A and B are shown apart, each in its own frame.
Chain A
Amino acid sequence: NAGVTQTPKFQVLKTGQSMTLQCAQDMNHEYMSWYRQDPGMGLRLIHYSVGAGITDQGEVPNGYNVSRSTTEDFPLRLLSAAPSQTSVYFCASSPRGGTEAFFGQGTRLTVV
């Protein structure tokens, strides 16, 4: 049982480039979400999904897109990378009615 898998683990982008951070879970969880972690700010919610085909914005959605075509996958797209998007990104999933969220190992992104 792999849990929540994020790829890649590390990525360096140039300003203006686009990329997709992948997230997959094998626990059949309905809820999935993306967070970014910045020093002194904890984890902030970017986008979340309560099921396939349903997504919504979190606290810091600007510059990011998501889609949820299957229960298992929840990719995060950076449309035009900016240095302010340098951060560690975490994907999480949780079952409907459950209390805890299960996190992936994170993707460390640097935009130069």
Chain B
Amino acid sequence: DQQVKQNSPSLSVQEGRISILNCDYTNSMFDYFLWYKKYPAEGPTFLISISSIKDKNEDGRFTVFLNKSAKHLSLHIVPSQPGDSAVYFCAARSIGNKLVFGAGTILRVKS
């Protein structure tokens, strides 16, 4: 049973517009949620995180929103750039710093 779900396998966005990537989770015990970005043939790199006690965290063009009642989080990228094209993984942290990942969303930003 998947505890972290990314239901959109892919997303295509025009350069300069907003990209919104979504993630749902089932386990209320997760204490942190993270977004990772992955380019082909590279390891995932950390992008942004949010504590379970917050509802928003912003870092430059990237903002993560957390809705605990809905067990839903989203990553907003504004404005989107061609270099943002990558696979984005949502992850949730459990005990022992273990991360549970979603299946990933492929983002394509068209110029």
Say whether chain B's binding surface is mostly helix, strand, loop, or mixed. strand
Residue A90, interface by CB 8 Å: yes
CB pair B96–A50 under 8 Å, yes or no, is yes
**What class of interface size applies to chain A in its complex with B?**
20 to 34
Complex CA distance for A30 and B49, rounded to whole angstroms: 20
CB pair B43–A43 under 8 Å, yes or no, is no
Residue A94, interface by CB 8 Å: yes
CB pair B101–A43 under 8 Å, yes or no, is yes
**What class of interface size applies to chain B in its complex with A?**
20 to 34
Residues in chain B within 8 A of chain A (CB atoms): 4, 6, 9, 32, 34, 36, 41-46, 49, 89, 91, 93, 96-104
Say whether chain A's binding surface is mostly helix, strand, loop, or mixed. strand
CB pair B98–A45 under 8 Å, yes or no, is yes
Chain A positions within 8 Å of B96 at CB level: 31, 48, 50, 56
Complex CA distance for A106 and B44, rounded to whole angstroms: 9
